[in-house]
Structures are given as C-alpha cells and as structure tokens.
C-alpha cells in the first residue's frame, strides 16, 4: 500500500513542482565539448526490465519499489532507439552492437562489418569493415576501455574492435576450416591485433586466449575451462610481453584487481572467468569482482589521460538471465549495472562527460496481473486465473523454457519455489531459450550535448551523437583544431537553435 503522505494531494503537487523546477533548468543546455564518453549497455534491458529492476532496487532497500529512482532514471534526457537489424525485425546483439558502436546498421550475427557482409561467409568480410567509436576515440588520442560481465570477445564488446562475419568465432577453434584458410581471424585474436593498445579490457573469456587443452589458472582440473586455441598461441602472454615496459598489468581475480594502484597502471587486462562471468547473485565475492568494482578501476586508470577517454560498459548477463527464463537473475544483473552507473557518476563530472545508458534490444519479458502496490516483483498476482483457477506470477514470458504442462494442464506455481534465484517464469510458448523482443528501447543521456538524444532514433545514431559531442571521428571538424581544449564551433549553437525552433513548431 502507499504511504499516508501519498493520500494528501499536496504531496503529489509538491513532487511535480520540484520536477518542473528541475526541468526548467534544462533550458540552459550543456554545449560543452565532451572530454569523456561512457556508454552503458544493458544487454536485453528493455523498458519492462528497467521498470522491474527499479521496483527490485527499491524493495531491496525496504521500500515499496515503484517510487524508487534508478541512477539512469535521474538522467535528464531520454529517447527511444529502433533496434531492428538490416535483415531482422527482431534483432540480435551483434548487428545491434555494430549500430550503436560503428554508427552503421548491419545484419544479425555480424560485428564491425556493413550489411554488405553475409553471416558466416568469410569472403564477404574484406572491403566491408566499419570502424567503431572506440577506434575513433583512440585515434583522437583518448584512452579507451571495455568492461563486460560476458566474455570480452562476446557480441557486444567485439563490435568495438573486430570485423567478423560471425559473432560465434570466439577463437580459431570455433571457426570452419574454410574460413581460416581464407584468412579470416577469430575475434579473440582481433581483440589484441586490430587495436593493439586498448588501455583497459575487463570481463570473462579467458579460455579463448590460451592454447588448446592448456589448464585454466582458476579451474585447472575442469576440462571445459581449458584453453581452446588450435594455433597454440598464448594471447595473454603475448600481451604481457608487449606491455611490460608500458605499465601493463594482467589480473585474473578480484584480489589482484583491487590491489592495483591505478596511478601505476596504464594498461590493464583482466580476465576473471574462462567463459562469461558468473551471475551477480551467484558471484563469489572473494574471487570475482562486481561490475561496479571493475568500472571503478577502469575509470581511475582511463581518466589519467588529459585528452579524456571512451569507455564501453556492458551489463551483459541481463540478456542471459532472460534467455534462460530466470527473471530474478536478469533483474539483479540490471540492478548491479545501475550501481555501476552510480559509481561512474561519482568519478566523473557531467560538465565534461557524456554518459549514455541504453540496451541493444528487449526481451519477451513482462510483468502484470493487477498486483497491489509494493507487491514483491517476484510474487503472485492477487487473483487466480478465471480459466484454470490456478495462481500465476506477475512476471511471465511470451516464450521460453518456463512453459510447463503437468498432466495436460498448466503447472500450479504455488507448488514450486517461484521466488528462487533460478526459477523459470511461466512462458506461453515452449522454447529451449526465450527470445529477444522487437520493441524500441530507451536511451538515457546526461552531460555535454545529451539533448541531441531527443526523440525516436535509429540505433546507429547513438555513436554519431557521442562523436559529435567529443569532436572525434567524422565530426572532429566541428571543433577548433588550434587547441585540444578549445570550445565547440558555432555549428553547435546553430543545431541548438534549429532544435528549439522545431520544438516551437511542434
């Protein structure tokens, strides 16, 4: 139930007036040049996931939940992103990553190549490569970093550095012989070769960097965690050798990471699991860093560069939780990413840092059922089904592994632990893995030129805004070239004038 103060109209009027006062301050647009750029990508974090994560965050803090503010909720500018791939109405994480990192829409399953490239066809790679904002930033003298809870060579991060017609070519072990013979490179190799001086790389994916059957440092007796590389290369050792005189450090556990002094580290490679990192709910807090801890160290290293930095942060396992029908895992991943957003905000200034939070795509995840205020987000709807007279959870999926029929009828959820970490919410259609959703996703923005994210945009617009704000890539000419810290050219004020005129017309 709501609080007593919510029964008084003065409460709501005062809240709205405070919100209005804050909104009026936005008339003074932040037209500074963005020294730093941060993109937080919640993989699979559609609007229903954002709302449910907000409620969960509040309930974890002992509140009803609905009135809670996520860190991303506090961002002043919000727009929508159209997520389709060039060949897919409902997209995947590779084609979408190419859009929001390289500024070009692409086919599903491909990273860092245009739509002229065909999935899994190696000979369509050459000539169709597209570069990412991470490269544009590096070329402009900025430090750059990638932090993810998935493998560092997974779909989202790989579009920042790789040009690959198949997102699944994690190492040469996963590639067909004809692709290797034709000269295509696996994604792990491209991580170290394409842009050899990425300043910070953190996530999972250790096994793809080591020779086939090489024992894993953390799980030496578990065969599935052993190295995968057929070419016999030890990419980590090669990186360490290359960086040994450049203040480079390789770490594989939380203790090593948190013992680093960022002032003494210029290059950091952190690989904390053989595959994806573990779900935050199951994370070993002694050995594995949280996303927030990784982001904290990354920013402290990157911000030393007087020219600024670009950082890609992926909360990548929101997506995995949903695919498995495990809403509790997915939502806790989203709450942890929101914590990381808060930490980044403490370490940077909106005056000079453009921060964007968005998703690559949504999922067929929903919650409803006329639940009362403060109902636990993982709880039951207040009524029984008027068709089969059984209870049902508020959270449901349109499809996925949670489809359960017992003796020809829907499973009675009151007989199972529907609040368990790995409970698979009921789904309408049986699938081994739940699917993505095709609706638009939210884009939250704060900092210099954040107001350019203002309506319904194609997803590939996002890196163009970021590049424009920082005067890098094809938009570098918009800033005076005489000084690295020079202000923006009048082109910015012209754009702002046009935008305000358009608003008046609307």
Pinpoint the alpha helices (H) of 61-164: 93-102, 133-139, 155-158
Cα 319–chain centre separation = 10
366 in catalytic set: no
Q: How far apart are the first and last CA of the chain?
A: 39
288: left (phi over 0), alpha (psi -120 to 50) or beta: beta
Half-sphere exposure of 177 (CA within 13 A, CB side): 0
Q: Which residues pair with 431 in a beta bridge?
A: none
Q: Is 361 known as a binding-site position?
A: yes
d(CA 444, CA 357): 5
DSSP letter at 63?
S
CA atoms of 207 and 211, how far apart (whole Å)? 8
* Residue 156 in marked binding region: yes
List of E strands, 18-155: 36-42, 77-82, 143-151
Distances (CA, A) of 343 to 200, 291, 298: 17, 10, 11
Strand partners for 427: 397
- Could you tell me if 101 and 160 are in contact, meaning their C-beta atoms sit under 8 angstroms apart? yes
Long-range Cβ contacts of 489-496 (<8 Å, 24+ apart): 492/31, 492/449, 493/31, 495/452, 496/29, 496/31, 496/451
Q: Of 300, 316, 336, nearest to 72 (Cα)?
A: 336
**Rg, Å, the chain Cα set:** 23
Sheet with 395-400: strands ordered across: 365-367, 395-400, 427-430
> Is residue 43 a known part of a binding site?
yes
| 273 Cα distance to chain centroid | 18
Q: Is residue 139 part of an annotated ligand binding site?
A: no
Return the C-alpha torsion angle 16, 19, 21, 25, nearest 10.
Answer: -160
CA distance 183 to 123: 9
d(CA 388, CA 75): 44
What is the three-class DSSP state of 56? helix
154 has binding-site annotation:
yes
Please check if 360 is assigned to a binding site.
Answer: yes
Single out the catalytic residue among 81, 93, 362, 366: 93
Residues comprising the chain, all counted: 506
Q: Is 332 annotated as a binding residue?
A: no
φ, ψ of residue 397 in degrees (nearest 5):
-120, 150
Q: Give binding residues for Zn(2+) as ranges.
A: 43, 319, 323, 360-361, 436
Q: Give binding residues as ranges.
A: 43, 154, 156, 314, 319, 323, 360-361, 436
Active site positions, annotated: 93
Q: Give binding residues for Mg(2+) as ranges.
A: 43, 154, 156, 314
């Amino acid at each position: 139930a709501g609080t007593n103060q919510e029964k008084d109209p003065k409460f709501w009027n005062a809240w709205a007036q405070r919100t209005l006062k804050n909104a009026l301050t936005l008339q003074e647009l932040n037209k500074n040049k963005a020294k730093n750029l941060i993109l937080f990508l919640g993989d699979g974090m559609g609007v229903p996931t954002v709302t449910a994560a907000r409620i969960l965050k509040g309930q974890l803090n002992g509140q009803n939940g609905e009135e809670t503010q996520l860190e991303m909720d506090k961002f002043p500018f919000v727009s929508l992103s159209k997520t389709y791939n060039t060949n897919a109405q409902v997209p995947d994480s590779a084609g979408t990553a190419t859009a929001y990192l390289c500024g070009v829409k692409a086919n599903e399953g491909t990273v860092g190549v245009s739509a002229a490239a065909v999935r899994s066809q190696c000979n369509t790679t050459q000539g169709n490569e597209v570069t990412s904002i991470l490269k544009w930033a590096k070329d402009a003298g900025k430090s750059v970093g990638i932090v993810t809870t998935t493998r560092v060579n997974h779909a989202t991060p790989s579009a920042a550095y790789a040009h690959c017609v198949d997102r699944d070519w994690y190492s040469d072990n996963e590639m067909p012989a004809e692709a290797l013979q034709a000269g295509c490179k696996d994604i792990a190799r491209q991580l170290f070769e394409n842009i050899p001086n990425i300043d910070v790389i953190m996530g999972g994916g250790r096994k793809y960097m080591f020779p086939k059957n090489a024992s894993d440092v953390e799980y030496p007796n578990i065969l599935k965690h052993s190295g995968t590389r057929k070419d016999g290369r030890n990419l980590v050792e090669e990186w360490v050798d290359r960086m040994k005189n450049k203040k480079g450090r390789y770490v594989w556990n939380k203790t090593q990471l948190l013992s680093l002094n960022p002032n003494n580290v210029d290059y950091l490679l952190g690989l904390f699991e053989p595959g994806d990192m573990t779900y935050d709910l199951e994370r070993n807090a002694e050995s594995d860093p949280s996303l927030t801890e990784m982001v904290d160290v990354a920013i402290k290293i990157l911000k030393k560069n007087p020219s600024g930095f670009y950082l890609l942060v992926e909360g990548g396992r929101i997506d995995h939780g949903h695919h498995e029908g495990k809403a509790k895992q997915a939502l806790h991943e989203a709450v942890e990413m929101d914590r990381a957003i808060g930490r980044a905000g403490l370490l940077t200034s909106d005056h000079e840092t453009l921060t964007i939070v968005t998703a690559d795509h949504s999922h067929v995840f929903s919650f409803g059922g006329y639940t009362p205020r403060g109902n636990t987000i993982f709880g039951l709807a207040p009524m029984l089904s008027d068709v089969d007279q059984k209870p049902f959870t508020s959270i449901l999926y349109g499809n996925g592994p949670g489809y359960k029929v017992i003796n020809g009828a829907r499973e009675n959820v009151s007989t199972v632990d529907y609040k368990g970490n790995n409970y698979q919410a009921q789904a309408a259609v049986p699938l081994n893995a739940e699917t993505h959703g095709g609706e638009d996703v939210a884009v939250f923005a704060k900092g210099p030129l954040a107001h350019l994210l203002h309506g319904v945009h194609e997803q590939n617009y996002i890196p163009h805004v970021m590049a424009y704000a920082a005067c890098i890539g094809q938009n570098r000419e918009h800033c005076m070239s005489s000084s690295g810290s020079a202000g923006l050219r009048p082109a910015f004020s012209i754009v702002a004038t046009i935008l305000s005129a358009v608003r008046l017309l609307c």
